[in-house]
Amino acid sequence: MSYKTIVVHVGDEPNAGACYAYAAELAQREQAHLIGLASSDVSRFLREAVATNNVSPSIAPVLETLRERTASALDQFERVVASFALAGFERRAVDDEPRVSLGALARYCDLCVLGQADAVRGASLPSAGLAADVAKASGAPMLLVPHAQAPAWPIRRILLGWNGSREAGRAMRFALPLLRRASAVDVAILDAGSLQSGGGASLRPVTAIGQALARHGVRAEMVLRDDAGNAGAALLALAAERGADLLVMGCCGHSRLRELLRGGATRTVLKSMTLPVFMAA
């Protein structure tokens, strides 16, 4: 497996340039076609702000401003990726919301790259749950680039969060091209006792994940913790402890309301990440 079509979200996040460069570097290594997709959000503006007065003469300038902002973001994307030796790249502008346009296009791509939302800038950026929304809508894996600092290539060490779930399994399989290239792979099992006892007599999950990776040429070290607390915070702390360049994990399966009320690993990681995160739902 390799990534042959990669889409990157083009917007006005503070780490936008670093996000485009990270996506372009990966596309260059994979000899993949890179698509920069910018969403003007015109559809949401028309639905929320114009529904009560759709003949107002003030509407046209607002729509023009939204589309100009989209074009400017795509210009930056093109400037950044032009310096890479890519198999091909293109820019696309749509008038829909990012979660809708990305969710639709990502179904035809091998990977979707997004920048981490900046909570300080709030409503001017896509919601912190954009990656989770797109992952669930498309089934494609997401690669999140942190806004705190520009990540560097190559990816030498990867931390794989493993809890035996369907989502963790999908994330592991989608990340195999990166796992194979890494110099070191750590598999973090945070609630080791529970996972071991829940596998049934015929399955030993800790052994099984090591064997599954080994058959793909990935030699992994198991890092076992008996900690059933905040999995997201624990994964980020362990990634820092192990010097990981990438965190691979499944995307939380909670409903949006439950996750907002109770928190969750996905929400914690998306909010506090300082390294790239690869996730799948």
- The domain of 78 spans 5-145
Are 136 and 174 part of one and the same domain?
A: no
Identify the pLDDT of residue 255.
52
Position 261 in a domain: yes
Digitized pLDDT (tens) for each residue of the chain, 281 residues in all: 799 999 999 998 778 999 999 999 999 999 999 999 999 887 666 655 555 555 566 677 877 888 899 999 999 999 999 999 999 999 999 998 999 999 999 999 999 999 987 665 544 444 557 888 899 899 999 999 998 777 888 999 999 999 999 999 999 999 999 999 999 999 999 987 777 655 555 678 889 999 999 999 999 999 998 876 789 999 999 999 999 999 999 986 545 544 544 457 888 898 899 999 999 99
Position 44 in a domain: yes
Position 152 in a domain: no
138 Rama sector, left if φ>0, alpha if ψ -120 to 50, beta otherwise:
alpha
Position 150 in a domain: no
Are 112 and 200 part of one and the same domain?
A: no
**Residue that finishes a domain, picked among 145, 171, 200:** 145
**Could you tell me which residues are beta bridge partners of residue 145?**
115
Residue 19 to residue 147: CA distance in whole angstroms: 9
Are 27 and 136 part of one and the same domain?
A: yes
Q: Which of 245, 271, 222 is nearest to 119 (CA)?
A: 271
Identify the pLDDT of residue 63.
79
CATH number where 202 lies: 3.40.50.620
Are 140 and 196 part of one and the same domain?
A: no
Identify the pLDDT of residue 122.
47
Are 91 and 20 part of one and the same domain?
A: yes
Are 54 and 112 part of one and the same domain?
A: yes
Q: What is the pLDDT of residues 66-87, one digit of tens each?
A: 889 999 999 999 999 999 999 9
Identify the pLDDT of residue 66.
85
